Chains A and B, each alone.
Chain A
Amino acid sequence: MSKNSEFVKFDKVDKSYDGKVLVVKDLNLDISEGEFITMLGPSGSGKTTCLMMLAGFETPTNGEIYLDSNPISNIPPHKRGIGMVFQNYALFPHMTVYENLAFPLKVRKVSKVEIDKKVDKALSMVSLTGFENRMPGQLSGGQQQRVAVARALVFDPAVVLMDEPLGALDKNLRESMQYEIKHIHESIGVTVVYVTHDQGEALTMSNRIAVFNDGKVQQLSSPDKLYEEPVNSFVAEFIGENNTFQGEVSDISNGKCKVKLKEGEIVANPINVKSKGDKTTVSIRPERALINPSQKMDNNYKGKIEEVIYHGDHTRVRLNVLGNSEFILKVPNSSQNIDIKLGNTINISWNSTDARALDPK
């Protein structure tokens, strides 16, 4: 079975609501069949608009969206055959769980026997067998969420859209639902386009993540690449935690660059800097900076501990390094971190490859 790598295709899509501001700018995005892709970004970044355009509730101002190579801009939502899970579930409150799930099948004129079979299957998939006759109001948030997922999948759509489906759940439930949705995706192989502003959710669930900001896709890559190798300072800032230094490139050679800061100088990995004199933001993940490392590293500095915050499995330490008093270190909760005390000065090091010199802020 060959999978279509352009199953869903956004081709130069622009969207504006008022004719003055572009909410989505020149969006080009290919989604392959069976993929779990997440649109991640802060609110107002255009991710939900993209989803609504794909679902058919908004029309692109310019450009075209293709579903399985067919342009769909002129197809109304009910003919697109795209399942959707809404932010607040949008379960029909006057229908039982069974009727909710049967709705998409009934409008497709599926026979009663077939409907029963499909509803049963969908409910067992979300482990809600036996809840057929409940009203949505009698279910807990998590159960409603699962009904919404089952309803979006029951008519075997080619694509399922999920618009911040877990936003209303509490933390523990959210995490278990993340796994559940991921497992459902893996077992039935449907293409999922997922929208969220929660980076943890995006990282755990997706095959690929499209980070949106300001109407543009900032970076589209797998979760690990996104975290390890952000291509610009917005992505570095938005995904995970991040220590930054503002400076100016003073030397660039052999895949390394020297960045001059207000106080001192660091060796970094040039990503978005081309030549000497470029302004840059250097980004280092907290866990990449180590205290007294056993291996030799090419950045070694001293820092004064300004704050120690206990987090259970790890301790966060705020240091003043090279004039940056917001430098965060994550220290695993093991026995060797004895000298972490307020006011102490410690040695910290990192590799220049982990210090990414990105575009200036």
Chain B
Amino acid sequence: MSSETKQILTTDGIPLEVSLKKAEKKNKIKAFLLVAPLLLFLIITYIFPIGEMLFRSVDDRMVTNMLPKTFKAMEKWDGKELPPEEVFEAFYLDYKFLVEEKTFGKLATQLNYEKNGFKSILKKLQRKMKKFEQGNYKEQIMNVHKRWANVEYWRAIKRRAPDITYSKYLKAMDMYENEDGKISQVSEDRRVHRILWLRTLEIAFFVTILCFLMAYPIAHLLATLPMKYSNLLMICVLLPFWTSLLVRTASWMILLQQQGIVNDFFVWIGLVGEENRPEMMYNKTGTYVAMTQILLPFMVLPLYSVMKTISPSLMRAGKSLGGTPFVAFWKVYFPLTIPGIGAGCLLVFILAIGYYITPALVGGASGTLISNQIAFHMKSTLDWSFASAMGLMLLTGVLVIYWIYNKLVGVDNIKLG
């Protein structure tokens, strides 16, 4: 068919499509140049760091590069018995080089992640190594500490041979690859991360619900009140928005602490006794209260912008056609606000799932989220690759939620304003 359709020419005889492309080329270049700074900015500050994060979370070349000879010698070792003399010799040579370069500390840290107890025996080895004689390194190393004669430690070293590893992801799920290469769970008393993941989801979910329940009537009032009242109310909604996050969180600390204003008030009206003031901070309650208040505008604004576009005559029509006020609301008004609800909930949930400062300040031990754990590993343990792995898992989670939302409601239905 397409070959039969006649090519349309301009008056000058140039094919129309060619002419059109030429005419639009300049505009396209202009448009591109306009967005180029932003594009560049995004690549530098967003896409590149995410790529870097992904890489860092699986990158395991550090140990590989530090023990090249060892890993080469280990290729032939089956891992069942203690490794042969060549492996010990190679390890001795690699480690000697690292000691000379003064980078052996890093190896100790890395191997200690893999198996506890490496740090001390590596330090001991470094001290004793100076007196080592040539040959029979297996014997000499095993004499330094009895752990060196334990095959588990050598297996631990071998596990670090590959360039990439997914062990950080397993760790984030409280799992690890055991000596036999099987994935198994860590002992029960050390399963901290899974609790954090679940708590993060739980808090984000309930904060979203709370925000929705509170924001819906406010947004409705904002959209229907006469201008002079709605402006005032809008300022009330936005005022916290213009205040620093830290200030708001700090004021919640003043309000919620045991000797704080809210507790004083409860005692004063006789709701609780002076002795048993409830703890509302440094636990989940504090996180819920503060996060809901802080994230409320993100729910109000999309809802408001959608409600603003719903003509009041629709509700009237619903009523005049015989619907009770509730039916008119539920069948007419509510379905029309769904795009706003979707946008608001998605926004609040995604913000809540990665919330950091507020839970860190008011959450205490039982109110912290996964992002606090990420920050902990970024700042304190300096295990950046683990932090990256958890960050990426969080990002993937958000993308999955977005995808589910798209399947259920359709992203086209989102309306932010």
Report A's interface with B, CB cutoff 8 A: 55-57, 76-84, 86-88, 90-94, 103-104, 107-108, 151-152, 155, 161
Instruction: Given A94-B335, A103-B331, check contact A78 B316 (CB 8 Å).
Output: no
Instruction: Say whether B320 contacts A78, CB under 8 Å.
Output: yes
State the Cβ distance, A192 to closest chain B Cβ, in Å. Answer: 15
Pairs A–B under 8 Å by Cβ, sample size 16: A55-B320, A56-B319, A57-B316, A78-B319, A78-B321, A78-B328, A83-B320, A84-B316, A84-B317, A86-B317, A88-B313, A103-B323, A104-B321, A107-B323, A152-B321, A155-B321
Instruction: Say whether A77 contacts B316, CB under 8 Å.
Output: yes
State the Cβ distance, B308 to closest chain A Cβ, in Å. Answer: 15
Q: Which residues of A contact B318 (CB under 8 A)?
A: 92, 103
Instruction: Given A83-B321, A88-B311, check contact A107 B327 (CB 8 Å).
Output: yes
- How far does the alpha carbon of A94 sit from the alpha carbon of B317 in the complex, in Å? 14
Instruction: Given A92-B332, A93-B336, A94-B335, check contact A78 B323 (CB 8 Å).
Output: yes
Count residues of chain B with CB under 8 A from any CB of chain A: 19
B10 within 8 A of A: no
Instruction: Say whether A107 contacts B322, CB under 8 Å.
Output: yes
Q: Which residues of A contact B324 (CB under 8 A)?
A: 78, 107
Closest 5 CB pairs of A and B: A104-B321, A90-B317, A84-B320, A90-B313, A77-B319
- How far does the alpha carbon of A82 sit from the alpha carbon of B316 in the complex, in Å? 12
Interface residues of B in 319-368 (CB under 8 A from A): 319-325, 327-328, 331-332, 335-336
Q: Which residues of B contact A84 (CB under 8 A)?
A: 316-317, 320-321
Q: Which residues of A contact B311 (CB under 8 A)?
A: 88, 90
Report B's interface with A, CB cutoff 8 A: 311, 313-314, 316-325, 327-328, 331-332, 335-336
- How far does the alpha carbon of A84 sit from the alpha carbon of B316 in the complex, in Å? 9
- How far does the alpha carbon of A94 sit from the alpha carbon of B330 in the complex, in Å? 13
Instruction: Say whether A82 contacts B327, CB under 8 Å.
Output: no
Partner of B317, one of A81, A92, A107, A108: A92
- How far does the alpha carbon of A57 sit from the alpha carbon of B314 in the complex, in Å? 13
State the Cβ distance, B333 to closest chain A Cβ, in Å. Answer: 10
- How far does the alpha carbon of A76 sit from the alpha carbon of B321 in the complex, in Å? 12
Partner of B320, one of A82, A87, A91, A108: A82
- How far does the alpha carbon of A87 sit from the alpha carbon of B314 in the complex, in Å? 11
State the Cβ distance, B315 to closest chain A Cβ, in Å. Answer: 9
Q: Which residues of B contact A108 (CB under 8 A)?
A: 322
Closest to A77 in B: B319
Instruction: Say whether B320 contacts A77, CB under 8 Å.
Output: yes
- How far does the alpha carbon of A93 sit from the alpha carbon of B316 in the complex, in Å? 14
Closest to B315 in A: A90
- How far does the alpha carbon of A273 sit from the alpha carbon of B367 in the complex, in Å? 87
Q: Which residues of B contact A161 (CB under 8 A)?
A: 320
Most A CB contacts (10 A, CB to CB) among B316, B322, B324 go to B322
Q: Which residues of A contact B321 (CB under 8 A)?
A: 78, 83-84, 103-104, 107, 151-152, 155
Instruction: Given A94-B335, A94-B336, A103-B318, check contact A87 B323 (CB 8 Å).
Output: no
Q: Which residues of A contact B317 (CB under 8 A)?
A: 84, 86, 90-92
- How far does the alpha carbon of A79 sit from the alpha carbon of B316 in the complex, in Å? 13
Q: Which residues of B contact A57 (CB under 8 A)?
A: 316, 319
Q: Which residues of A contact B323 (CB under 8 A)?
A: 78, 103-104, 107
Closest to A86 in B: B313
Closest to A148 in B: B317
Closest to B316 in A: A57
State the Cβ distance, A148 to closest chain B Cβ, in Å. Answer: 8
- How far does the alpha carbon of A208 sit from the alpha carbon of B311 in the complex, in Å? 31
Instruction: Say whether B313 contacts A104, CB under 8 Å.
Output: no
- How far does the alpha carbon of A93 sit from the alpha carbon of B325 in the complex, in Å? 18
Q: Which residues of B contact A86 (CB under 8 A)?
A: 313, 316-317
